[in-house]
Chains A and B, each alone.
Chain A
Amino acid sequence: MCHQVRLGEVNSVINELLLQFAEWLYATGGSRAIEESFYLYNWIEATHVLTIMLCLGMLVFIDLRMLGLAMPGVSAVKISERLNIPMMIGFIIMFITGLLLFYAKPTYTIQSIWFRIKMVLLLVAFVNAVMFHKRLKASASTWEYEPKAPRRLQISAALSLGLWAGVVMTGRLIAYDWFHCYRELPAWLGAAAGCVAD
């Protein structure tokens, strides 16, 4: 019980700090300039969305190869290595445009439950990707020409597809304020979304 109270306190302090940081960002000239410019904001947003064709398009191909569903006749290591570069270029573009989108609407976004879930999914996807590449490097020479990767790598590839589908969905849902702080929310959801008592 005591632990629960403390956890709740820590959580509300974190939410308070995050909101203060977001409010500070919101007040900067750059943030106002992007949000208030129709073309600037929408082009950053469009670039962010369209780049999924490059970033996730390549990622999907790598994962499908591991599952034996795309280019089974070509070395899995070759596919992974060759497509990693365009995928990372796409990721960097998405990361920068994503930061700018957050910068344009920091106070709204920091209290979006979808944004928060998306960040967690991104983190898990990152850890999964690091482990995937470690395992791939360690074992690839024994199976790279087989149509399917070993089971553990297949699980990792399937997990990657699922996690990124979740990232896309939660990313899209940030635009919706169904669970925003100005709505009637259960206490746990309010705390998870980062709502701060006035």
Chain B
Amino acid sequence: MELLPFFEWAETSFLGYIGKTYGGVYATFGQSIHLMSLAVLGGTVLVTDLRLLGVIMKDVPSEVVADQAHKWFRIALAFILATGIFMAAAVAQRMYYNDFFWAKMSALLVGIIFVFAIKRPLLKGNHADIQPWLLKLVAVASILIWFSVAATGRWIGFS
């Protein structure tokens, strides 16, 4: 599948035009809200995973922590995707040729599948019924995956 025409189109779309033309809108509505959402998304991931690893909030049921964190994870994900699409549209052709952009998209895809197909279904039930090593494995995998998403994302700007 040839994706370049899609990226070329994205840059000429309304969204791409706004981000390209108005640097202030790109930096505030794009980058700044993207970063604020990163704080919330990363926070929900860390709260859940550090709880599963027994590092924080040991006296709060991990089911409660996981449920509440997931609620905010979904909100943060929506904001981070929206602002991410807006930013990528403005510099779409540059993104197409940027290795870290594709690294990040791959990591993000893995992250989303991991959360909605593995982590969430697993943590929905009673955590006492799950093998402790499995809970810890999921927590470590989750931290590694989302760290990769954030780090490759930051590196797009450096490359």
Chain A interface residues toward B at CB < 8 A: 38, 42, 45-46, 49-50, 52-61, 64, 70-71, 73-74, 78-79, 82-83, 85-86, 164-165, 168-169, 172-173, 176, 178
A168 and B47 in contact (CB under 8 A), knowing A46-B154, A71-B68, A73-B64?
no
Give CA–CA (A121, B69) in the complex, Å. Answer: 27
* Contact of B46 with A86 in the complex, beta carbons under 8 Å: yes
Question: B42 contacts A53, CB within 8 Å?
Answer: yes
Bound Cα distance from A52 to B50, whole angstroms: 16
> Which residue of B35, B64, B72 is within 8 Å of A49 (Cβ)?
B35
Given contacts A52-B38, A57-B39, contact A82 B23 (CB under 8 A): no
Interface residue? B13 (CB, 8 A):
no
Task: Tell me which residues across on chain B come within 8 A of A176, comparing CB atoms.
Answer: 23, 27
B46 and A70 form a contact (CB under 8 A): no
Chain B interface residue number, banded? 35 or more
Please name all residues of chain B whose beta carbon is closer than 8 Å to the beta carbon of A83 when the two chains form the complex. Answer: 47, 56-57
**Complex partner residue of B47 from A52, A57, A73, A172, CB under 8 angstroms:** A57
Question: Which residues of B line the A interface, CB within 8 A?
Answer: 23-24, 27-28, 31-32, 35-36, 38-47, 50, 55-57, 59-60, 64-65, 68-69, 71-72, 146-147, 150-151, 154-155, 158
Give the distance in Å from the alpha carbon of A165 to the alpha carbon of B28 in the complex. Answer: 11
**When chains A and B are docked, how far (Å) is the Cα of A55 from the Cα of B40?**
10
Q: Which of A54, A55, A79, A172 counts the most chain B CB atoms within 10 A?
A: A172
Expressed in whole angstroms, the minimum distance between the Cβ of A163 and any Cβ of chain B is 12
CB pair A60 B68 closer than 8 Å:
no
Extra contacts besides A57-B47, A86-B56 (13): CB < 8 Å: A49-B154, A52-B42, A53-B39, A53-B46, A59-B43, A61-B43, A61-B47, A70-B72, A71-B65, A74-B60, A82-B57, A173-B32, A178-B23
Q: In the docked arrangement, what's the CA distance between A74 and B60, Å? A: 7
For the complex of A and B, the 5 pairs showing the least CB-CB separation, nearest first, are A57-B43, A53-B42, A56-B39, A169-B32, A52-B39
Contact of B31 with A172 in the complex, beta carbons under 8 Å: yes
Residues of B with C-beta under 8 A to A61: 43-44, 47, 69, 72
Complex: A64 Cα to B39 Cα, angstroms: 13
In the complex, chain A residues whose CB is within 8 Å of the CB of B71? 70
- How many Å lie between the Cα of A79 and that of B60 in the bound state? 9
Shortest Cβ distance from residue A124 to the other chain B in the assembled complex, whole angstroms: 18
Question: Given B60, B69, B150, which contacts A53 in the complex, CB threshold below 8 Å?
Answer: B150
Shortest Cβ gap from B139 to chain A (Å): 14
* Given A70-B68, A71-B65, CB of A78 within 8 Å of CB of B59: yes
